[in-house]
Every structure is written in structure tokens, then in C-alpha cells.
Amino acid sequence: MMTEKPDYNPSGVGEINGNIFGLPYDYQSANLIIIPVPWEVTVSYGGGTANGPQRILDASVQLDLFDFHHPEGWKQGIFMMKVPQDILEKNTYYRTLAAKIITRLEQGQQLTHPPDLTSLLSEINQAGEQVNKWLFTQCQAAMKQGKRVAVIGGDHSVPLGYFQALAAKYANYGILHIDAHADLRNAYEGFTYSHASIMFNALKIPQISQLVQVGLRDISHDEMAMIDQSNGRIIGYYDPIIKQKLYSGSTWIDLCREIISHLPEYVYISFDVDGLDPKLCPSTGTPVPGGLELEQTFCLFRELVNSERKIIGFDVCEVGDSEWDGNVGARIVYKLGNLMDLSLSS
């Protein structure tokens, strides 16, 4: 069992000790607990994000730990739980079943067409519910010990259980959502817990008072209608419009402050890496041309902290199964962990 080392040198060679960034903390000594969820059962395009947590862990020891805005951030204590192999195995099994359903729908046929696949759909939805309950339990257990929590996916369906755990603690919080997609589809392809339905499901939680989405550029008519008819509960910042404003002379810092103005005091950050320019995470599940630079998102998050709002949790999802994607994902996790620490310590 790992224990905190008083003589730990953050400038030393990253130690491959089983913990993220090679940090000398275990579950008990850490203040931030990172929970990996290797689940991508409903992915409808590219695969591999179930291996995202392992890719992030593997790449993380190569990072230098000096953070320009929180140089001593590592001292908060960060620990990543082991990738749950039982969930990873179930993911492999259920993804095979889900592929049959997706293929049937892409062929324009009903699930009741022989052989009937409706029972498979029900089984997959139950499996998704079990993962949500597992994550809810893990998050509540950590939070009851006074710890902070972050989640690494997997596809973007995975943080729902964490949203529910936060709703048991906070009467009102908002989500700042970085994504190419709005994820507002109702049971996309029949999957209740689809990666394309995470924000639709989030909005069923009454404690989530505001959803602000940034980087959207691949969106359906129904999702646009849902945003427009939400009475301001959902606010979209669309990539083409962001770019046009920047090309016309608006500054990113002013746009960041406008985006943040819509959010309440307590904010959860949900970061789907396909919100970034795909050169940064090319192996993500559903890459889309365009998007944000990494430092643009970090600037947005810093302005959130500067506004004296509190980052109460975050997830990083859709990191692909490649070394480069893991490298970028690890940097996002470290930055968000440090900015959350800054926001909650001020």
C-alpha cells in the first residue's frame, strides 16, 4: 500500500508506482480521488475510449508537475483508483451486443425484425444502470470522507452516477460542458444511457439548474430545438459562432467571461475531448473538424476560478486508445484537479 512520502521530489523522474502522475498518495492520504470508468458500450462510431483511463495513467508519469497557476497543486494529494477490470470485461461483452442493435438500425430495420433484438436492448440498458449505480456509490463513499472526486471515461455516458451523487449534496449546481456534440438526444439508438444522451439525462436531475455548452458544432435539429425551448436552462456556444466573433475582433477572454456569467456558484466541468481540435485527441470516438485549442479551455477554466465560483467536480471523457491522446488527457486531468483545488481553497 502506497503512503505519502515526506521527501518526495516533484522534479524527479516520474515513478511508475501504479498511481496517476507517479504521485506518492493512496486513497486514504489523497484529497482528490479519480475514478476510472472503462465503459463505451453505446459508442456509435470509433471505439477505444474504454482504454482511455489506462492510456491517461500510462502517459501521466511523463508530465512535469509545475503548474503555472498552482505550482504546489500536486500537494493536495491525488490518487487514481485501479481500472475496474470487471467493468472493462462487461464493456467488451455488452459492446458486442450493442453493435448488433446499431447495425440493425443503420440498415433501416426495426429491432423486432427477426431475430428480435428488443431483449438485448433491455439487457444493455440494465447494464448501463448498474454502472451508474456503481459510480454513484463510489462517489458518495469518497465524498462522505470529505474527499473530492473526478471521473475518467470511457465514453461520455459514464459521469451520470456522479451527477446524481453531487445532486444529493448540492441543492443547485451548473454544468460547464466542453463538447463538439450537445448530447441532448433522448435514448439515442434506443440506449437509455447512450453517450449521446448524457446531458438529456443530466437535465432530469432538478438540482442541475444550468447547462452551458461550449464548442458545439455537430448537432441535430431536435437538439437545437431543445436548447431554444429550454427557457435559458441550456445555453449553447457554437464553434462556428465563436470563431466568427474571434475573427471579427472579439477577444477570447471577454467570451470566457460572458460564458461564465451564466453559471451559478457551484460548477461541474464535463470535458469531452472531442470538443477540442481533433489534432489534440485524434483517436477520440467521434472526432469533428474545428474545435477549441487546449489552452483556450484552460483559460476558460481559469476565468471560472477567478470569478470566485467553485469547481465541485469534473470528468474527462472520450480519450482515445493512443499514447498521444493519453498524454493530452493526462494534462487535462492535472489542470482541472489543480484548478478545482484553487477554487475550493480560496
User: Known binding site: residues?
Assistant: 156, 179, 181, 183, 272, 274
Sequence-distant (6+) residues with CB within 8 A of 127 are: 41, 90, 94
The secondary structure element, H or E, covering residue 139 is helix 118-144
Residue 155 — left, alpha, or beta (φ > 0 → left; ψ -120 to 50 → alpha)? beta
> What's the CA angle centered on 100, arms 95 and 287, to 5 degrees?
60
Please tell me whether residue 271 adopts helix, strand or coil conformation: strand
Q: Which amino acid makes up residue 314?
A: F
Cross-strand pairs, 22? none
Cell numbers describing residue 102: 446499431
- Run of H or E residues at 211: strand 208-216
173-178 vs 148-153, strand pairing mode: unpaired
Cis peptide, bond prior to residue 154, ω within 30 of zero: yes
User: In which element (H, E) is residue 129 found?
Assistant: helix 118-144
> How distant, in Å, are the alpha carbons of 20, 74, 80 from that of 4?
14, 12, 14
C-alpha to C-alpha distance for 249 and 93, rounded to whole angstroms: 51
Query: Annotated binding site for Mn(2+): which residue ranges?
Result: 156, 179, 181, 183, 272, 274
